[in-house]
């Protein structure tokens, strides 16, 4: 980099942006990797059940499979709409 380069203000290098975006998406995709194929279907059916009692959107339901030294934990969380009790993670 020479003297002339100091006069130009550089935006954030695109490689840094790429790295940050990849870090997030890769972590997200890894968290659902190897999860059973029935998860999306189960999520839909659970939504139907939950809808009988509270009005929530499908995006409010999160299902994750966590692997932890030899055992797997299926984690289901439902974010309840405003005015209702706070989101309750149930395992």
Partner 1 sequence: MTAEIIVVTSGKGGVGKTTTSASLATGLAIAGKKVAVIDFDVGLRNLDLIMGCERRVVYDFVNVVHGEATLKQALIKDKRHENLYVLAASQTRDKDALTQEGVEKVLDGMSEDGFDYVVCDSPAGIEKGAHLAMYFADHAVVVVNPEVSSVRDSDRILGLLASKTRRAERGDGAIKQHLLLTRYNPARVANGDMLSVKDVEEILGIDVVGVIPESEQVLAASNSGVPVILDAESPAGQAYSDTVARILGEERPLRFTDVAKKGFFQRVFGG
Continuous segment of H or E residues that includes residue 27: helix 14-31
Nearest-angstrom CA–CA distance, 37 and 22: 24
18/41 with CB nearer partner 1 = 18
The answer to whether residue 18 forms part of the interface with partner 1 (CB under 8 A) is yes
- Contact at 8 Å (CB) between 78 and 60? yes
Which residues face 74 on adjacent strands?
65
Q: Which is nearer to partner 1, 16 or 91 (CB)?
A: 16
User: For residue 62, how many other CB atoms are within 10 A of its CB?
Assistant: 13
Nearer to partner 1, 25 or 87 (CB): 25
Structural Rg of the chain based on CA atoms? 21
Binders in 24-83 for partner 1, by CB under 8 A: 25-26, 29-30, 33-34
CB nearer to partner 1: give 14 or 91: 14
Decide: is 87 part of the binding site for partner 1 (CB under 8 A): no
Q: State the residues that interact with partner 1 by CB under 8 A.
A: 1-5, 13-16, 18-19, 21-23, 25-26, 29-30, 33-34
């Amino acid at each position: 980099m020479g003297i002339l380069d100091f006069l130009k203000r550089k935006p954030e290098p695109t490689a840094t942006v790429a790295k940050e975006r990849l870090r997030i998406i890769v972590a997200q995709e890894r968290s659902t990797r190897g999860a059973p194929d029935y998860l999306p279907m189960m999520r839909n059916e659970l939504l139907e059940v939950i809808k009988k009692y509270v009005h929530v959107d499908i995006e409010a339901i999160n299902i994750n499979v966590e692997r932890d030294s030899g055992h797997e934990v299926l984690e289901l969380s439902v974010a309840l709409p405003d005015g209702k009790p706070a989101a309750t993670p149930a395992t």
